[in-house]
Amino acid sequence: MSITYKSTAFKGGKDKHTFVFDLKNTAKNSSKMDSKNIPKLKNNELFSIYSAAADGTSTTLMKLKDNKNFSKEDLRVIGGRFYKEYKRLKSKTLLLNIKDFQIFNGTSDIDALQGFVEGFLLSDYKLQEVKSSATKKETLDIEVHTSGLKPAKVTELKSQLKESEHVSQAVHFARRLGDLPGNMMTPSILAKNAESIKSPALKVTVWNKTKIKKEKMGGLLGVSLGSAEEPKFIIMEYKPKGLKAKSTPTVLVGKGLTFDAGGISIKPSAKMDEMRYDMCGGASVIGAMKLICDMKLKAHVIALIPSTENLLGASAVKPGDVLTARNGKTIEVLNTDAEGRLILADALVYASELGAKEILSTATLTGAMVVALGNSHTGFFTRDDKLAEKINETSIISGENLWRMPLTDDHVSDMQGSYADLSNLASFRGAGSATAAAFLEQFVLKDVPYAHLDIAGTAWNASKRKSYHASNGATGVLVRSFYEYVKNA
């Protein structure tokens, strides 16, 4: 794709598509279209849309909800919705005028334009590489008219739109990792994708099964025993020049379960194909690292991705078996389908050993999270109020809905084992996402700020919630949030 900038007068042209806003049916916009053709807004609608084409030029006019403070996320949603209109009209170049973005309460013109373009670019994703007759992806060309902006503001706008390009590329990168089927996204292939990210500040190390066993990662090793595919433990360290030699890193941990059949506690066959998405936590962390590298952030960040499959081979872990995690704690496996917490446990112990200043983990961990929050919000768990405040602030900036959930000693007591230190299944049926987070907490040093983000509901098939998500498939959730968290730390 390409974005070009022009300071000349704004006008359309052949094979070009003009996008403008209209408020209150005043027809005060950059086009000469009659705004009376726009459908009236229905209850709770953010906008309505009308398009027309003539002489090779097409125009979309969008009416906005009156008296609303529009956030950058609102503009992303508008950009995502407009992308579908743009594709329907088959235009080659999109024309945007900065003046049309000077109408929003609560958002500057540059932020509004960035949000719109970011939503537009995030929408431009579709996995086609597994089809024998995949169509060539069309190039997106965006022409931004900056007439009236001061040079310093034009520079700021270019910088922000370049960031949006990198954001969309990183999110698409993560989506692709999630969407590829299990035979095309094994732990080894996931590791190679992590290694494909190039930056002089990035070092990627991959541990094989022998090394994992030597490092006493009993949870990761145990889950992998039912699969012919080797487990991998992926370590990505980003440390640009100029930082202190002994800088303390922010550590991101993502579950990389590339396919989950449930093990001996096998899952129902219906929609089992969707268990390719059980590695979306790892995909989001890898995507965030790509974005951090591309934007050259001045921060020390380490990403850890424990990766394996959870299958039913002859050597698979059985219900009742006891595994020993890296920190020596023993775990009674009462349900082999509660495997994500087992592989994350070892990674969290290792993260603590790295001297982390804070640890954020993410996984498609529990169905209970889907019951609690659906596919609208990612639930997060932490006992650290300051960390919770930072995550809430990040949510506002990134536009991704993050919601704090309870985590107490009651949840910890529910995870005590009968024959081992801990059980991977709670003794009480309720609060499954909270007890899972309480289990993970036992593998983090007490003085290290820690939060777990459960993306079971938001990792895939959430297009009804955000217009810029694909109609089905992975969302790339948390790539933006992890990036913004590190950027604003």
Active site residues: 267, 341
Using alpha carbons, select from 367, 332, 376 the residue that is nearest to residue 475.
376
Rounded Cα distance, 461 and 469, in Å: 8
Residue 59 host element (H or E)? strand 57-64
Residues 6 or more apart whose Cβ sits within 8 Å of residue 151: none
Using alpha carbons, select from 180, 215, 179, 387 the residue that is nearest to residue 304.
215
Rounded Cα distance, 323 and 332, in Å: 7
The two three-digit tokens of residue 75, written as one number: 């503009």
| DSSP state, residue 437 | H
The two three-digit tokens of residue 21, written as one number: 């806003």
Residue 250 host element (H or E)? strand 250-254
By the 10 Å C-beta count (0-12 exposed, 13-18 middle, 19+ buried), 268 is classed as: exposed
The two three-digit tokens of residue 37, written as one number: 């053709």
Backbone angles phi, psi at 209, to 5 degrees: -60, -40
Angle at 260 between CA 220 and CA 362, to 5 degrees: 65
- For the chain, give the longest Cα–Cα distance: 77
The two three-digit tokens of residue 342, written as one number: 């087992």
Decide if 321 contacts 199 (C-beta within 8 A).
no
Residues 6 or more apart whose Cβ sits within 8 Å of residue 371: none
Using alpha carbons, select from 247, 438, 222, 249 the residue that is nearest to residue 346.
222
Rounded Cα distance, 352 and 370, in Å: 29
Rounded Cα distance, 276 and 255, in Å: 12
Sign of the dihedral through C-alpha 440, 443, 446, 447: negative
Rounded Cα distance, 363 and 246, in Å: 29
